[in-house]
Amino acid sequence: MAQVFVCSELEMKDGDVRIVRQDRVEVGVYRHEGSYYAYRNQCLHQGGPACEGIIRNKVVDLFGADRSFLGQTYDEKEPHIVCPWHGWEYKLKTGECAPDPKLRLKRHDVVQREGGIYVVI
Amino acid sequence: MNVMTPIVRDPNADKFDTRRLLAHAAEQAEDRRYEDFMIIDVDSHHYETGSYREIFQYIEDPVMRDQFVHTKGQTMMLRSTGGFQEMAGRITRYEYRNAEEAPPGARHKDITLTLKWMDSMGIDVACVFPTPMLGLGLNPIVEVEVQYARAYNRWLTEHILAHEPRIVSMLYLPMNDPVAALKMVEDFSGRQGVVGFLITTVRYKPLYNNVYMKLYAALEERGLPLAFHAATNWGDQSMNITNRFIASHALGFTWFNIVHMTNWVVNGIPERFPGLKSIWIESGLAWIPFLMQRLDNEYMMRSSEAPSLKRKPSDYMRGMYYTSQPMEMIGNRTMLEETFNMINAETQLVYASDYPHWDMDLPSTIYDLPFLSLQAKKNILGENARKLFKLDTILSPEKQARLKARAA
């Protein structure tokens, strides 16, 4: 295991992602609300580049008190990583597959030191 | 602790490039040594919308040609087979593919872009089909189907197939005009890259009608397969009560092949045309065991209603060909294995990617199945289709180079 330099802390703002490749291992490093998250860039479905798609908040159905359907909205507290190949969605904060939490992207540790961001690969 | 220099990039800053999008597919192809055998993709697509200007010039009726030019193709779009394939931006290639550049040169852009994704996946030969034309059979103006299909088939054979042996096609049949459909076979069979003909199954004229018998005989005589490509029709009365694309797609893409397959079998078409090979495309696989069991059960009680059959419905279905995509891979591998057994997958299943559509399958969906022998994998990924289409064994230049590098 080694700490691989990603970029300086100043380079990434909230919502940004960087893909780090070390030999044949690719990791997506995210900054979200000041925190950093890193996952293997490998969708559990067909091996797509899961971290190279868009980030889209979880979609939720809205129901009234009588359980009638009112519409849909986004849950801004739950951003999802979306694999661009087929649309598989993963929770950005945990790497869990949104429709099946038994599945999870491999997580990598992120280290901040001396103004730099490093990911452990 | 080691501090290493990695490759770091911002994917949002990358210019869209198919090779980049499919880089992991290329790694799969290398890891699995796809250069050791031929892979044929029996159902893939291109977006003929990018070549509309060229295609419209082939529309023979000048009045209709002007209509297409001025409506920018909307003349054809009087139907409801579309949907939200791009998933509101989640499937990024839908938004960015138009911006992808092909180096200027003698090759048509469609050829260049098609070979890019084929090479990424390790596919040697791809059978391509257009995209909006999947719903053309619903157009209420019969002449629109006939004229546009003929124009597209001329454009495809002259601009694409004639120039790239790795791209082949089963040509669209305008089934709302049986005479025109027969003429299509007579005029286009034998052209380079034409490996069969195809019926889009979102349509409401029964395919057992006597008006089609000359067409089926013409295909049988020529030894050309007839494919049935599913789609959905959100305007269909039964689909009309679904309110999410996932529902219309999941049901529609199986339903229209189920209906036509049922009619095909109970009317004894396989018995009447024993030499006519059929391929059922893009309904996945789970529907086949269902329909086999359902039809066999009813046939044993009501054989008098299908008197031309000499065997059970499933026996005829087992002799047909099926494309693999979108293969139902989630949840129950035992069912999948039994499905492979029921359809004689080793000889009757042919791989399809459906690329670039949202539910595409890579060759690894077949290659990685633990219950298949290596020979079965090779058959499904290429050999079954090669025999069906009577193609020579060829490997892409990239795969040939890998073989050469390995030998060196």
Three-class SS string for A62-104?
EECCCCCEEEEEEEEEEEEEECCCCCCEEECCCCEECCEEEEE
Cβ atoms within 10 Å of B197's Cβ, excluding its own: 24
Q: Is A110 on the interface with B (CB under 8 A)?
A: no
Q: What does the alpha-carbon distance between residue B183 and residue B188 come to, in Å, rounded to a whole number?
A: 8
Residues of B in contact with A51 (CB under 8 A): 11
What is the DSSP secondary structure assignment for residue B176, as one 8-state letter? T
| Structural domain includes residue B333 | yes
Q: Which H or E run includes B87?
A: none
**Per-residue pLDDT, B79:** 55
Domain of A46: which CATH number? Answer: 2.102.10.10
Q: Which residues contact A42 (CB under 8 A, 6 or more apart)?
A: A26, A48, A49, A50, A105, A106, B24
**Domain count for chain A:** 1
| Structural domain includes residue B12 | no
**Per-residue pLDDT, B53:** 87
Judge: A21–B8 Cβ closer than 8 Å, yes or no: yes
Task: Please tell me which of the candidates A17, A19, A54 has its beta carbon nearest to residue B92.
Answer: A54
Name the CA dihedral angle for B187, B190, B193, B197, rounded to a multiple of 10 degrees.
60
**Per-residue pLDDT, B88:** 80
Domain of B132: which CATH number? Answer: 3.20.20.140
**Looking at B164-236, which runs of residues are DSSP E strands?**
167-172, 194-200, 226-229
Q: What is the pTM of this model?
A: 0.94
Strand order in the sheet with A69-82: A55-63, A69-82, A89-91, A96-97, A100-104
CB B4 within 8 A of CB A25: no
Task: Please tell me which of the candidates A4, A5, A53 has its beta carbon nearest to residue B92.
Answer: A53
Chain A: closest CA distance from residue B198 (Å): 26
- With cut-offs at 50, 70 and 90, classify the pLDDT of residue B260: very high
Task: Please tell me which of the candidates B1, B9, B89 has its beta carbon nearest to residue A18.
Answer: B9
What's the pLDDT tens digit per position in B208-248? 999 999 999 999 999 999 999 999 998 899 998 998 889 99
**Per-residue pLDDT, B49:** 83
Angle at the Cα of B95 (from B92 to B97), degrees rounded to 5? 90
Note the ipTM here: 0.93
pLDDT surpasses 60 at B2: no
Judge: B90–A82 Cβ closer than 8 Å, yes or no: yes
Q: How many helices (H) and strands (E) does chain B have?
A: 19, 10
Residues of B in contact with A24 (CB under 8 A): 27
Containing structural domain, residue B315 = 32-407
Of residues B94 and B217, the one with the higher pLDDT is B217
**Domain count for chain B:** 1
Q: What does the alpha-carbon distance between residue B181 and residue B174 come to, in Å, rounded to a whole number?
A: 5
- With cut-offs at 50, 70 and 90, classify the pLDDT of residue B106: confident
Judge: B25–A22 Cβ closer than 8 Å, yes or no: no
**Per-residue pLDDT, B85:** 78
Residues of B in contact with A54 (CB under 8 A): 89-90, 92
User: What's the token pair of residue B138?
Assistant: 């619903």
pLDDT surpasses 80 at B133: yes
Residues of A in contact with B328 (CB under 8 A): none
Least confident of A89-93, B3-7, B289-293: B3-7
In which residue ranges of chain A is pLDDT below 50?
none
Mean pLDDT for chain B overall: 93
Chain B: closest CA distance from residue A65 (Å): 22
What's the pLDDT tens digit per position in B296-343? 999 999 999 999 999 999 999 999 999 999 999 988 899 999 999 999
Q: What does the alpha-carbon distance between residue B225 and residue B237 come to, in Å, rounded to a whole number?
A: 31
Containing structural domain, residue A85 = 3-120
CB B304 within 8 A of CB B244: no
Site of tokens 């739950």: A78
What is the DSSP secondary structure assignment for residue B158, as one 8-state letter? I
**Per-residue pLDDT, B330:** 86
Q: What does the alpha-carbon distance between residue A84 and residue B93 come to, in Å, rounded to a whole number?
A: 8
**Looking at B130-177, which runs of residues are DSSP E strands?**
167-172
Q: Is A54 on the interface with B (CB under 8 A)?
A: yes
Distances (CA, A) of B142 to A120, B67, B171, B345: 63, 15, 18, 37
DSSP 3-state assignment of B223? Answer: coil
What's the pLDDT tens digit per position in B149-197? 999 999 999 999 999 999 999 999 999 999 999 999 999 999 999 999 9
What's the pLDDT tens digit per position in B270-282? 999 999 999 999 9
Judge: B25–A6 Cβ closer than 8 Å, yes or no: no
Chain A: closest CA distance from residue B3 (Å): 6
Task: Please tell me which of the candidates B10, B28, B91 has its beta carbon nearest to residue A87.
Answer: B91
Judge: A20–B6 Cβ closer than 8 Å, yes or no: yes
Mutant choice from A11, A46, A58, A118 vs B, greatest count of B C-beta within 10 A:
A46
Residues of B in contact with A87 (CB under 8 A): 87, 90-91, 358
Of residues A31 and B49, the one with the higher pLDDT is A31
User: What's the token pair of residue B387?
Assistant: 């025999």
| Structural domain includes residue B11 | no
Whats the size of chain A, residue-wise?
121
Q: Look up residue B343 and give its amino acid.
A: I
Q: Is A4 on the interface with B (CB under 8 A)?
A: yes
Distances (CA, A) of B214 to B137, B151, B175, B313: 20, 23, 12, 24
DSSP per position, A17-41: EEEEEETTEEEEEEEETTEEEEEES
Q: Please report the number of interchain residue pairs, chain A to chain B, with beta-carbon separation below 8 angstroms.
A: 86
**Per-residue pLDDT, B179:** 98
| Structural domain includes residue B23 | no
Judge: B11–A82 Cβ closer than 8 Å, yes or no: no
Residue among B325, B370, B390, B284 nearest B121 (CA)? B325
Residue among B157, B155, B149 nearest B175 (CA)? B149
DSSP 3-state assignment of B171? Answer: strand
Nearest CA in chain B to A41: B24
pLDDT surpasses 80 at B82: no
Residue among B131, B190, B187, B193 nearest B157 (CA)? B193
Judge: A19–B359 Cβ closer than 8 Å, yes or no: no
pLDDT surpasses 70 at B78: no
| Structural domain includes residue B183 | yes
Residues of B in contact with A3 (CB under 8 A): 1-3
**Per-residue pLDDT, B98:** 79
Judge: B90–A53 Cβ closer than 8 Å, yes or no: yes
Mutant choice from B14, B15, B90 vs A, greatest count of A C-beta within 10 A:
B90
Residues of A in contact with B24 (CB under 8 A): 42, 47-49
Q: What does the alpha-carbon distance between residue B375 and residue B147 come to, in Å, rounded to a whole number?
A: 44
Chain A: closest CA distance from residue B156 (Å): 27
**Per-residue pLDDT, B76:** 67
Stretch B286-291: mean pLDDT, rounded?
98
Stretch B121-145: mean pLDDT, rounded?
94
Task: Please tell me which of the candidates B6, B360, B361 has its beta carbon nearest to residue A22.
Answer: B6
DSSP 3-state assignment of B186? Answer: helix
For chain B, give the percent of residues with pLDDT over 70: 97
DSSP 3-state assignment of B170? Answer: strand
| Structural domain includes residue B7 | no
**Per-residue pLDDT, B221:** 98
DSSP 3-state assignment of B134? Answer: helix
